[in-house]
Amino acid sequence: MLANYFPVLVFILVGLIAGIVFLALGNLLGPKRHYAEKDAPFECGFEAFENARMKFDVRYYLVAILFILFDLEVAFMIPWAVVFKDLTAAHGQYAFWSMFVFIVVLTVGFIYEWKKGALEWE
């Protein structure tokens, strides 16, 4: 019974070994030059100017959530577009209309966010 899990164990071991080897090679063969710009912390593209625990405007998070939303939309649409011919052959127009409803729901959400002013930056 445990023999069925042997390929998973091999996969994990190969991944760990490859990760360790690549990190070691990077440390051994990589450049060792350090300078102020390279060692400076950065997160959002601007210089840190206050405490790390300061509050951010909620619009920053709204833009991030909207990006993820529309990124996921594309992640669902690309596989659907690739197999669209097979889907229409098997299910007729159901494949088209299900994606149409999906896009309409996302468009309504986008229009709602736009009207609420979540995309406006001052």
Determine, yes or no, domain membership for 101: yes
Determine, yes or no, domain membership for 86: yes
Residue with tokens 């959530």: 65
Task: Enter the pTM of the model.
Answer: 0.48
Domain count, the chain: 1
Cα–Cα distances (Å) from 49 to 21, 56, 57, in that order, read: 38, 13, 15
What residue numbers bound the domain in which 12 lies?
A: 1-114
Provide the pLDDT for residue 72: 82
Model confidence over 53-76: pLDDT tens digits? 777 677 777 778 888 878 888 888
Determine, yes or no, domain membership for 5: yes
Q: What is the CATH number of the domain that holds 62?
A: 1.20.58.1610
Backbone angles phi, psi at 60, to 5 degrees: -60, -45
Contact 119, 61 (CB under 8 A): no
